[in-house]
Amino acid sequence: MDMEDSRLGRALVVIVNDRTASRDEPDTNGPLVSELLSEAGFHVDATVAVAADPVEIRNALNTAVIGGVDLVVTVGGTGVSPRDVTPDATSGVLDRSIPGIAEALRASGLAAGSVDACLSRGLVGVSGSTLVVNLAGSRSAVRDGMATLTPLVGHVISELSGLDA
- 115-128 pLDDT, tens per residue? 888 899 999 999 99
Sheet holding 42-50, edge to edge: 42-50, 9-16, 71-75, 130-135, 124-127, 96-97
pLDDT at position 108, please? 92
pLDDT tens per residue across span 73-88:
999 999 999 999 999 9
Q: Which domain holds residue 147?
A: 9-161
pLDDT at position 118, please? 83
| Number of domains, the chain | 1
In a domain, 86, yes or no: yes
pLDDT at 94 over 50: yes
Pairwise pLDDT comparison (161 vs 9), residue with the higher score:
9
Angstrom distance (rounded) from CA 121 to CA 126:
17
In a domain, 4, yes or no: no
Residue 95: CB atoms within 10 A of its CB come to 12
In a domain, 1, yes or no: no
DSSP 8-state secondary structure symbol assigned to residue 152: H
In a domain, 59, yes or no: yes
In a domain, 2, yes or no: no
In a domain, 3, yes or no: no
In a domain, 76, yes or no: yes
Label residue 75 left, alpha or beta by phi (over 0 means left) and psi (-120 to 50 means alpha).
beta
In a domain, 112, yes or no: yes
Q: Domain containing 89 — which CATH number?
A: 3.40.980.10
